[in-house]
Amino acid sequence: MGNGRFAPSPSGDLHLGNLRTALLAWLFARRTGRGFLLRIEDLDRVRPGAAAQQLADLTAIGLDWDRPVVRQSERSELYDTAITRLTEAGLTYECFCTRREIQQAASAPHGPMGAYPGTCRDLTDGARATRRAEGRPAALRLRSAVSDFEITDELHGVYRGAVDDLVLRRGDGMPAYNLAVVVDDADQGIDQVVRGDDLLSSTPRQAYLATLLGLPVPHYAHVPLVLNTAGQRLAKRDGAVTLGDRLALGETPEQVMSLLAGSLGYRATTAAELIRQFRPERLVREPWTLDPDRLVATTPGP
């Protein structure tokens, strides 16, 4: 049996939506007899101290994990090796497009929404040399042989989504998220990916990339996000939405856990209590709407 995981970006504190996703990933992994691993995705958007606070908050709500926490910033060799393999197989090309050029070209009336239109795919050696000489920083893209790919998701069933010539290495030299996540999941023996359903549309790209690298495609479960009262994805600005915010208002970690458990249709005040009841197949499929101003009042008692 493999592992599940939670892979936060250390850009700030986790809010209740992130904590709920982490809780679900932990419940799915532990309940199916898997290990549970934590990976800090710190290739960009790092706020000093955020990773430590995230780990502390996960511990405070009763989650635990196996093995030392992995940080993407310490794993560049793994990403380089994967990129080299793809390049040696003729599956990459340099892209000199600016963000703006891509946006303009991608809004052309053909091709999937937001997909890279392939501007630099067939540049001649001369054209490539000219752009390099102009000092344009080159990103490295995948030379994709497909325009879509199918995955199976625990909640969404069979899902087919766009695959374009995705970026493998950014213009600033950093490995791209889609590459890093695929390499890391395989390296860490992760065969179960539970994460927010905002990432569902990226999943066919990742599964295709895994296939090209000869890596196993994990089982996926993309879980509904938490929404604010206006129906948008919950964000820090929506009020007292982090664990720290809630504790500062006088709530206990047990009350926060009971709120999260309640949002999943269970009554429990600790993660340990919740896991005894949790049934992955009974997961609520609708987004959970949260009104931070009413949290204390609506928190179900033990």
Q: Which is nearer to ligand GLU, 34 or 195 (CB)?
A: 195
109 assigned to a ligand binding site: no
Stretch that binds ligand GLU, among 7-15, 123-131, 253-261, 284-292 (CB under 6 A): 7-15
Distance CA 209, CA 89 (A): 13
| 175 near ligand GLU, rule: CB under 6 A | no
DSSP state of 94: E
| 9 near ligand GLU, rule: CB under 6 A | yes
116 assigned to a ligand binding site: yes
Compute the CA torsion angle 189, 193, 194, 197 (nearest 10 deg). 160
Name the minimum Å distance from CB 70 to ligand GLU. 12
Sign of dihedral through CA atoms 211, 214, 218, 224? Answer: negative
Name the minimum Å distance from CB 3 to ligand GLU. 13
Q: Residues near 113 by Cβ (< 8 Å), separated by ≥ 6?
A: 106, 162
List active site positions. Answer: 236
251 assigned to a ligand binding site: no
Helix (H) or strand (E) holding 149: strand 148-153
For the beta carbon of residue 24, count every other beta carbon within 10 angstroms: 23
Residue-by-residue DSSP string for 226-269 = EE-TTSSBP-GGGSS-BHHHHHHTT--HHHHHHHHHHHTT---S
76 assigned to a ligand binding site: no
In 3D space, the residue among 20, 1, 32, 3 whose CA is nearest the CA of residue 63 turns out to be 20
Q: Which is nearer to ligand GLU, 115 or 181 (CB)?
A: 181
Give the total of residues touching ligand GLU (CB under 6 A).
Answer: 7
- Mask 34-73, x = binds ligand GLU (CB under 6 A)? -------x--------------------------------
Stretch that binds ligand GLU, among 5-13, 128-136, 150-158, 235-243 (CB under 6 A): 5-13
- Which two three-digit tokens encode residue 161? 């989504």
Name the minimum Å distance from CB 5 to ligand GLU. 8
Binding site for ligand GLU (CB under 6 A): 7-9, 41, 181, 195, 199
Report the binding-site residues for ATP: 236
